[in-house]
């Protein structure tokens, strides 16, 4: 490969040169021998107006380019600049294809040399990066990037990034580089040529041996420090006096604030553990909830030499505890504390499986890319935890073939037993003072035969308002068209040379007799695949009638109550028979082969088939439960997406109540369970929450520690008197009025506004109307499920723009922490009642009706009030924040139950006023 690399970036009027879009700025930076040696940049007159959104993005306007040369004038210089070079760009396909079109338009041949995509290269070299956007990568590498979306700045920063990535590649062990090289021919850019150069350099010079790397069975791994199983044995005394406690903390952490609620919470947690009793603690925003339970947990663990388990609902809070709160805790304590993170087994890489996958040839792009990411990551990771990696969707699917599980033959794992990531995590956890985990893993472990977490233990359940939901999800089932087809497609027809072919080949090689012909298995598989598709077409047809013109929706499956489902049941019974015959035929062959003396590869193959048989049996039982013998104590539903009628269909189930599991797993088995959250009570009572968990009759200590913030001073709340009544107008009419209000509110608040919806359909309609109006063109409008990206990415983007609006649904009602002026206005479009026809809500309400209770007052209303409190909590995150709450649902003031919502949040000034007056008050207040 040429040692000259030319890094190119373009700014254009749009994405398609074939549709007439043109370049407005070209920039190139040349690199030789790891140094920048030349730069060329020019504005280009596009012979058309620059669109407004491009001007906002790049800062380049018509005035700046009107005297610039046209592309024809600079094309010779650009062609000369590219000659005998490797073309490098961040997302190379866009820049190269656009430049090619323009060069050809001007009579030049175009560029046909090697290319390197720095996005692709960064994914390999920095597999744990949060984002592969140029801004983020530059920030991570401490590269100054003061003018993003300007070609000269972007090209120069991309050049520096390329030099940095190349240096990181050079540091990798030779064995890793050689493995990357073999896989690199499946990539989209010529990274193979770069790797070839680096390998040659290492071979001609003596490689400096890295002391932090060890090689085992052909894999370079980060050398892990020996696990110290010795648990330090101090027996500190918990400082019960608040002044003494604060004084002790301030010796090492002098900035520690006095928070009465936090200190009282510490008392409650410590006393609960000491007295072996359960407690519920509601801790308002600003209390310092995490340290409020971690501090007493640390003292109790050290005093008693018992492990305390802290469980959260979200991975986000798990990571936050480890990365932010535990370091603070360690500063506060006068003794060392050992805190470890523990996740489900599937989160950890199986080195035995990865070793085998590396030896299997697979030209699939995402599979090759993921293998390359993992090879680099293995030189960096201590944990082997998938969440460290930034994988593509295809990479996540491939991970399922690599993850640790309890089905793999022990003999196949044996060579790697000492380095196994999951077993290492368990060994580290055995010596921990505090284990941080999540509700899903906690329940799985407590119900497992090979459990790590002891019974009769001490637990803190954070985000406890999600406990019932987590237990229901754990007991529930979910499957979809794509995942089932993907699993069974791995078998393939005999002539497709996949698993069935390989199995038959083994059977013939070993001369096995008395097994049913392969044609029988093929027939069962083909019949299943065909009729499974018919089932989903049938279900999609039912859902289409049910949802009419609405967006994505859940629809209850009621086989017992409705004769219309008879055809579905008949079809499901046939599918069950096909699966039974398929699993039986596969198991017969696998069992016969397992009696023979087989090599390691053959055993891995049989193990893979056994796991597939388990999945087939699970699917058979699931179909039977959904459509033939449904439980009276469970709810079944399908999730329908109109844009993907049957391919996008999924089916779910869960128990109507998970109370029995919660009782058996936690309250009957543990010495002390402390539940905490910012929202557990309704009208200062924990009755609703206790009923959800089935523990109404338990003697549980309950405490509410309100937020220390002065909401009356920092907040104003408005209800629009001009919004139509929710129940007196169509959804179309309501979203018309809502979009008009949101446009006015956004302008008054200068963006910085989060809008919370109760349904994605309403969000989509409102978002479309706001965008279509063209009245907020200077604002950045982000919408969950539309803009794209994860919740965290949406929040990052929202905070990075001065004038931004964020439209959100369910997950943005909580777990969002945006302190300061970036979020100054919160709009709640409708009171957050679950739709009465939502399957789980309908089932819970039906059960209450059968018990002679009022489903509205005992379920729908308290659930909505808690969700309203969660939404309200997004706005004021520090004592210096100032904000406005706007509710567009007039039921909050007009209905008899509206006062339940107002009284559920701290006392603030409410006004019901018209839109014009509201705009003025928003401007004055913010």
CATH number at residue 115: 3.30.420.10
pLDDT score, position 278 = 96
Question: Stretch 522-540: mean pLDDT, rounded?
Answer: 93
| DSSP classification of residue 377 | H
Phi, psi torsion values for 723, nearest 5 degrees: -75, 140
Spatial separation of the C-alpha atoms in residues 228 and 59, rounded to whole Å: 56
Range 414-423 burial, b when 16+ CB lie within 10 A, else e: eebeebbbbb
Indicate whether 729 and 651 sit together in one domain.
no
694 near 659, Cβ under 8 Å?
yes
- What is the average pLDDT value for the chain, to the nearest integer? 91
Q: Which of 3-17, 116-130, 631-645, 709-723 has the lowest mean pLDDT?
A: 631-645
Spatial separation of the C-alpha atoms in residues 600 and 587, rounded to whole Å: 19
Residue identified by tokens 């950045």 is 780
Indicate whether 507 and 635 sit together in one domain.
yes
Q: Which of 514-518, 590-594, 708-712, 762-766 has the lowest mean pLDDT?
A: 514-518
Indicate whether 616 and 730 sit together in one domain.
no
Q: Which of 113-127, 581-595, 680-694, 779-793 has the lowest mean pLDDT?
A: 779-793
Residue 876: name the closest of 816, 819, 814, 800 by CA.
819
557 near 637, Cβ under 8 Å?
yes
Phi, psi torsion values for 255, nearest 5 degrees: -85, 0
Q: Which of 337-341, 443-447, 844-848 has the lowest mean pLDDT?
A: 443-447
Question: Annotated binding residues, as ranges?
Answer: 283-290
* Residues 6+ positions from 113 with CB-CB distance below 8 Å: 2, 82, 84, 85, 86, 87
337 near 300, Cβ under 8 Å?
no
Per the structure, the complete domain to which residue 745 belongs is given by: 711-925
Q: How far is CA 736 from CA 16, 195, 741, 769, in A?
A: 34, 57, 9, 7
Residue 252 lies in a domain: no
pLDDT score of 134 more than 50: yes
Helix locations, 23-70, DSSP H: 52-58, 62-65
Indicate whether 612 and 718 sit together in one domain.
no
800 near 148, Cβ under 8 Å?
no
Spatial separation of the C-alpha atoms in residues 286 and 709, rounded to whole Å: 7
Indicate whether 640 and 733 sit together in one domain.
no
pLDDT score of 552 more than 80: no
pLDDT score of 651 more than 60: yes
Residue identified by tokens 């390691």 is 600
pLDDT score, position 547 = 67
Residue 410 vs residue 705, higher pLDDT: 705
Helix, strand, coil share (%) of the chain residues, nearest 5: 50, 15, 35
590, 620, 655 — which closes off a domain? Answer: 655
Indicate whether 488 and 621 sit together in one domain.
yes
Residue 459: name the closest of 705, 678, 278, 239 by CA.
278
Indicate whether 488 and 617 sit together in one domain.
yes
Number of structural domains in the chain:
3
pLDDT score of 233 more than 70: no
Question: Stretch 275-295: mean pLDDT, rounded?
Answer: 95
pLDDT score, position 216 = 92
pLDDT score of 561 more than 70: no
Residue 735: burial class (beta carbons within 10 Å; 0-12, 13-18, 19+): buried
Spatial separation of the C-alpha atoms in residues 607 and 411, rounded to whole Å: 11
Spatial separation of the C-alpha atoms in residues 866 and 464, rounded to whole Å: 12
Question: Stretch 224-241: mean pLDDT, rounded?
Answer: 72
pLDDT score, position 371 = 98
Residue 576 lies in a domain: yes
Residue 782 lies in a domain: yes
What sign results for the dihedral spanned by CA atoms 502, 503, 505, 509? positive
Residue 253 lies in a domain: no
Question: Stretch 727-731: mean pLDDT, rounded?
Answer: 91
Indicate whether 880 and 731 sit together in one domain.
yes
Residue 34 vs residue 645, higher pLDDT: 34
CATH number, residue 825? 3.40.50.300
620, 636, 655 — which closes off a domain? Answer: 655
pLDDT score of 618 more than 90: yes
Indicate whether 895 and 746 sit together in one domain.
yes
The token pair that represents 789 in the structure block: 């990206």
pLDDT score, position 604 = 87
Residue 909 lies in a domain: yes
625, 655, 685 — which closes off a domain? Answer: 655
Q: How far is CA 465 from the centre of its chain?
A: 20
Residue 3: burial class (beta carbons within 10 Å; 0-12, 13-18, 19+): exposed
pLDDT score, position 549 = 58
Percentage above 70 pLDDT, the chain:
97
What's the pLDDT band for 497 if we cut at 50, 70, 90?
confident
Phi, psi torsion values for 656, nearest 5 degrees: -65, -35
Question: Annotated binding residues for ATP, as ranges?
Answer: 283-290
Indicate whether 743 and 642 sit together in one domain.
no
Indicate whether 46 and 117 sit together in one domain.
yes
Spatial separation of the C-alpha atoms in residues 495 and 822, rounded to whole Å: 60
pLDDT score, position 634 = 95
Helix locations, 83-190, DSSP H: 92-105, 118-125, 134-140, 151-170, 174-183
Indicate whether 651 and 784 sit together in one domain.
no
Residue 297 lies in a domain: no
β-sheet with 650-655: strand ranges across: 477-480, 650-655, 634-640, 553-556
- Look at strands 339-341 and 213-216 and give their pairing: unpaired
Residue 431 lies in a domain: no
Residue 594 vs residue 226, higher pLDDT: 594
pLDDT score, position 405 = 86
Question: Stretch 526-536: mean pLDDT, rounded?
Answer: 94
Spatial separation of the C-alpha atoms in residues 852 and 857, rounded to whole Å: 12
The 3-class secondary structure across 891-905, one letter per residue, is HHHHCCCHHHHHHHC
Question: Stretch 899-904: mean pLDDT, rounded?
Answer: 96
- Residue 399: how many CA atoms within 13 Å on its side-chain side? 21
pLDDT score, position 1 = 47
pLDDT score of 411 more than 80: no
Residue 615 lies in a domain: yes
């Amino acid at each position: 490969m040429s040692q000259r690399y030319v890094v190119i970036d373009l700014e254009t009027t749009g994405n398609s040169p074939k549709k007439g879009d043109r370049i407005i700025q070209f920039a190139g930076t040349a690199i030789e021998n790891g140094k920048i040696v030349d730069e060329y940049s020019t504005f280009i007159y596009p012979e058309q107006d620059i669109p407004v959104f491009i001007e906002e993005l790049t800062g380049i306007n018509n005035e700046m380019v009107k005297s610039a040369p046209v592309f024809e004038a600079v094309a010779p210089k650009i062609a000369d600049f590219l000659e005998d070079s490797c073309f490098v760009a961040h997302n190379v396909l866009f820049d190269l294809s656009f430049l090619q079109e323009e060069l050809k338009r001007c009579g030049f041949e175009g560029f046909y040399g090697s290319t390197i995509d720095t996005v692709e290269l960064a994914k390999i070299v920095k597999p744990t990066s949060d984002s592969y956007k140029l801004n983020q990568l530059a920030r991570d590498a401490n590269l100054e990037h003061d003018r993003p979306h300007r070609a000269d700045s972007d090209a120069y920063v991309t050049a520096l990034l390329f030099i940095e990535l190349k240096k990181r590649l050079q540091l990798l062990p030779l064995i890793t580089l050689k493995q990357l090289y073999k896989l690199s021919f499946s990539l989209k850019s010529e990274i193979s040529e770069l790797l070839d150069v680096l390998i040659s350099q290492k071979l001609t010079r003596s490689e400096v041996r890295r002391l932090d790397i060890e090689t085992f069975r052909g894999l370079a791994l980060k050398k892990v420090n020996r696990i110290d199983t010795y648990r330090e044995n101090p027996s500190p005394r918990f400082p019960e006096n608040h002044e003494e406690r604060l004084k002790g903390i301030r010796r090492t952490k002098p900035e520690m604030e006095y928070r009465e609620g936090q200190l009282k919470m510490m008392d409650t947690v410590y006393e609960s553990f000491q007295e072996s009793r359960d407690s519920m603690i509601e801790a308002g925003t600003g209390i310092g909830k995490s340290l409020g339970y971690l501090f007493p947990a640390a003292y109790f663990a050290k005093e008693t030499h018992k492990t305390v388990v802290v469980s959260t609902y979200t991975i986000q809070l798990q990571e936050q505890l480890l990365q932010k709160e535990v370091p603070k805790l360690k500063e506060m304590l006068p003794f060392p504390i050992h805190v470890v993170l523990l996740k489900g087994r599937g989160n950890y890489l199986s080195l035995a499986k990865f070793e085998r996958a590396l030896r299997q040839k697979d030209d699939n792009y995402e599979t090759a890319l993921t293998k390359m990411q993992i090879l680099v990551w293995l030189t960096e990771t201590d944990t082997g935890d998938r969440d460290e990696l930034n994988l593509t969707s295809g990479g996540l699917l491939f991970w399922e073939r690599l993850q640790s599980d309890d089905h793999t033959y022990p003999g196949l794992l044996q060579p790697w037993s000492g380095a196994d990531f999951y077993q290492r995590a368990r060994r580290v956890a055995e010596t921990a003072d505090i284990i941080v985990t999540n509700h899903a893993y906690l329940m799985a472990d407590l119900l497992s035969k090979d459990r790590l977490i002891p019974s009769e233990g001490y637990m803190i359940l954070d985000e406890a308002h999600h406990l019932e939901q987590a237990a229901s999800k754990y007991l529930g089932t979910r499957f979809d068209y794509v995942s089932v087809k993907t699993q069974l497609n791995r078998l393939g027809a005999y002539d497709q040379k996949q698993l069935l072919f390989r199995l038959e080949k083994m059977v013939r090689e070993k001369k096995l007799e008395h097994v049913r012909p392969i044609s029988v298995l093929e027939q069962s598989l083909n019949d299943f695949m065909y009729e499974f598709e018919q089932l989903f077409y049938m279900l999609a047809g039912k859902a289409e009638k049910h949802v009419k013109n609405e967006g994505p929706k859940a629809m209850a499956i009621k086989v017992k109550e409705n004769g219309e489902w008879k055809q579905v049941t008949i079809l499901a019974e046939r599918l069950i028979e096909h699966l039974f015959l398929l699993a039986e035929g596969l198991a017969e062959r696998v069992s016969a082969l397992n009696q023979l003396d087989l090599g390691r590869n053959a055993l891995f193959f049989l193990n893979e088939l056994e796991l597939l048989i388990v999945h087939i049996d699970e699917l058979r039982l699931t179909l039977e439960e959904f459509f033939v013998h449904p439980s009276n104590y469970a709810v079944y539903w399908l999730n329908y997406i109109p844009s993907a009628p049957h391919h996008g269909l999924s089916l779910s189930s869960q128990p109507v109540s998970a109370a029995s599991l919660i009782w058996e797993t936690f309250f009957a088995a543990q010495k002390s369970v402390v539940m905490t959250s910012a929202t557990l009570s309704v009208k200062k009572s924990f009755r609703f929450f206790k009923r959800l968990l089935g523990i109404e009759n338990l003697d549980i200590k309950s405490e509410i520690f309100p937020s220390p913030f002065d909401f009356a001073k920092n907040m104003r709340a408005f209800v629009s008197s001009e919004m139509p009544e929710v129940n007196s107008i169509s959804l179309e009419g309501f979203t018309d009025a809502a979009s008009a209000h949101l446009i006015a509110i956004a302008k008054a608040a200068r963006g910085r506004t989060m809008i919370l919806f109760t349904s994605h359909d309403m969000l989509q309609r409102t978002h479309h109307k706001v965008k279509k109006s063209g009245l907020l063109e200077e604002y950045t409008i982000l919408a969950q499920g539309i803009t794209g990206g994860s919740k965290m990415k949406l929040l990052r983007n929202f905070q990075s723009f001065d004038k931004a609006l964020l439209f959100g649904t369910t997950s943005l009602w909580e777990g969002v922490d945006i302190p300061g002026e970036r979020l100054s206005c919160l709009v709640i479009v409708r009171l957050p009642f679950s739709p009465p026809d939502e399957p789980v809500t309908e089932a819970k309400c039906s059960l209450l009706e059968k018990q002679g209770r009022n489903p509205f007052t005992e379920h729908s209303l308290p659930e909505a009030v808690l969700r309203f409190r969660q939404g309200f909590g997004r706005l004021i995150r520090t004592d210096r924040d100032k904000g406005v709450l706007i509710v567009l649902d007039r039921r909050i003031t007009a209905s008899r139950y509206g006062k339940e919502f107002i009284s559920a949040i701290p006392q603030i000034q409410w006004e019901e006023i018209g839109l014009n007056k509201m705009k003025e008050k928003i401007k004055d207040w913010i």
